[in-house]
Structure 1
Amino acid sequence: MTTHTDDVAIRTYGPGHVPALLGTLADIWADAHPELVDTPGGTTDGLSTDALRRQITGHARREGFVLVTAYAHGSPVGFAYAFPATPEYWYGPDLLPHIPEHIRTGRLMGLCELAVTPTWQGHGIGTRLHHHLVTAIAPQWSSLLVHPDNPRGRALYDRLGYTYAGPYRNEPGGPVYDLLVLQVDKAA
């Protein structure tokens, strides 16, 4: 499915399209996050384009996986992907008891990545990508992780209505992220 607005088209893809798009997605992500791109001797909190490729490939196996990509004048400028997730999977055993019951029992979307190239940030593309995911997955709740040192990403998620739910680590000793949640029907 493709939708057009102001010379920006949003295309929706399923897991079968991921292998062909991995290079493009990694390029968009690297452009959007230059501070996280692999640098000799640099610290990236375990984030890299190779790690992103592995992450997307693994998540594409999840039932209900949806990838949306934004194209401006035919060139890819942004992407986002998500999938329906169980609270047990998404929050993990340490954080799950701290998540309010009404969130734990609702339909949950795990938003894994949303990236827009810097020249196209501030044009509403991130909001449109998010909207397409929410429309495709139809959750009651959406949740994501954002690095505390990502003010532009955090500003977008604040505008979309996400609220802070607590600190979160993907792995022991890993970086601490801000876990955010959104009640989707209230945000519409």
Structure 2
Amino acid sequence: MKVVAFNGSPRKGGNTEHLIRRVFVPLEAAGIETELIRIGGKPLRGCTACMKCRERKDGKCAIKNDALNEYVEKMREADGIILGSPTYFTDVTAEMKALIDRAGYVTLSNGAELRRKVGAGVVAVRRGGATHVFDTINHFFQISQMIIPGSTYWNMGYGLTPGQVTDDEEGMRNMQNLGETMAWLMKAIAGAPTE
């Protein structure tokens, strides 16, 4: 089993990455392979509404000058998907929104390819707006017919400077619990023994 995480933050080693890596700890302890892909700060344009993915049904976005098609393939191969974003003006980063819009359209246009995969949102925030970011991510999972695991709280951690989120004990405990719940759920779906 595998979980792929997409980090919408342009900061390498920033708070979003710290949160995702904490979710990875129990996943890896359960024998689940993990991969982190940083999309933030890299070219990823928004959907142009050309409808080619819907017309062609070839599993690809017609825009070929960025990595979106590679990202969609990673999603197809994974059993679980984490979308992590810092809070930018009460929403996801532009790169994360482009990923959601384009990957969503491509996978839905090709038979709801993400259906029944496990999806979890992870949000870094300085003060406010994280709930809206969390909703944006979960809307993608829901329309894709994915399964969203719960945790002890909404999946957000508080911090400003890179790494400061690790001082948010409740947020970090929540990420640990989220990873444990994801691992249990993925194994249950696969029919593997659970604890």
Q: Which has the higher contact order (CA 8 A, sep 6+)?
A: 2
Fold conserved between structures, TM > 0.5: no
TM-score by length of 1: 0.33
